Amino acid sequence: MRTFATMSPTDPRVLAAHGDPALLLRQLGRCPVHVADDGSYVVARPDDVDDVLGRPSATISFVPDPGDAISGMQALMARFSDGEDHRRRRALTEEVIAWIDPGRVRSASGACVDAALGGGGTIDLAPLARRVPVEVLAEALGLDDVPTVVQAIDLLCRRLAPMLGPVTRPDDATVCEALTAAFGLLDESAVALVAVLFQAMDATAALIAQMLVSPHAPALVLTNRVTVAAMRIGGADLRAGARIVIALGAATAASGCDRSFGRSVHRCPGEALARAIADGFVDAVRASGRTLADGAEDLTWETRPNLRLPAALHLR
């Protein structure tokens, strides 16, 4: 099996911050399973990606830090769980989502954008694209203090967002205090609510950015799994205990079939809501008659390995 240099163009972790990675993603989507210098297996071809996402022995295997309360709360989210814990927590998450009407949040998203653009002048859409999904979902769920909820989820995202380089993060105590103020006791049911909003903020902002400036480059670039048993994927033998980098964006680009919301048991249950919010946001921007100041190649993209978020997105 060929070994590629870590963080080379065959490693999807570098492509999220690329100005226009569509061609590189399509090329990566034709690469067989290979190993980066850090020992991770990179799975990128569409059939291989679908195969590994459907394997019970390719697990999340999230291990919380015993000294980190936020890490402990993260471990209670369905997204970071396996087996029976995942089934139970996903059911709680689906109960939260079932209360929300996609049509309502689409209209609310557009109204938020209309209000933000009403004052004229240049506006940065990047923070608005992060705030609006959480705001409209919190309002749809009837939460009491929406600004407090938005602030708490923003802190949580900044605490947990994977980054390739050094970044200043809010400390554990600050995030815990904000979450408790917004949601009260963080038991499994409350964490299911937090998880819906947490997963909506940055991922939906990335979807909005894709629709506005980079339609041929998938918003979500990768996800991760760990093998709990040896397996064979795409003709390659993967050892037990290995980390797998699953190049969802490459598989999407190579096949034209969108995998941004995952596959199998961990497929995102909030896809319809995310798409509705993004559609409402983008429709309102386009209806405003304003234009973006920069194209995809001129933007600065955050150095995240997993999704594409512009550092700023100015509308004039």
What are 258-267's pLDDT values in tens digits?
A: 999 999 999 9
The answer to whether 27 touches 42, Cβ cutoff 8 Å, is: no
* CA dist., res. 275 & res. 252, Å (int): 17
Q: Quickly count: other Cβ atoms within 10 Å of residue 151's Cβ.
A: 16
| pLDDT of amino acid 295 | 87
The answer to whether 225 touches 233, Cβ cutoff 8 Å, is: no
* CA dist., res. 130 & res. 193, Å (int): 17
| pLDDT of amino acid 8 | 55
Q: End-to-end CA distance of the chain: give it in Å, rounded.
A: 50
DSSP 43: E
The answer to whether 199 touches 97, Cβ cutoff 8 Å, is: no
The answer to whether 11 touches 1, Cβ cutoff 8 Å, is: no
| pLDDT of amino acid 120 | 80
Phi first, then psi, for residue 208 (nearest 5°) are -60, -45
What six digits make up the tokens of 284?
């309102």
What are 41-79's pLDDT values in tens digits?
A: 999 999 999 999 999 999 999 999 999 999 999 999 999
| pLDDT of amino acid 17 | 79
Give the 3-state secondary structure of residue 168: coil
Phi first, then psi, for residue 41 (nearest 5°) are -85, 130
User: Residue ranges of the chain with pLDDT lower than 70?
Assistant: 1-9
| pLDDT of amino acid 2 | 42
| pLDDT of amino acid 9 | 56
Mind giving me the DSSP string for 283-313? HHHHHTT--BSS-GGGSPBP--SSB--BS--
- Domain hosting 88: range is 3-315
Nearest to 303 by CA among 221, 243, 240, 218: 221
How much is the pTM?
A: 0.95
Amino acid letter, residue 160: L
What six digits make up the tokens of 182?
């917004």
Q: What is the domain-level CATH number for residue 79?
A: 1.10.630.10
Number of domains in the chain: 1
Contacts of 155 (CB under 8 A, 6+ apart): 170, 174, 175, 178, 179
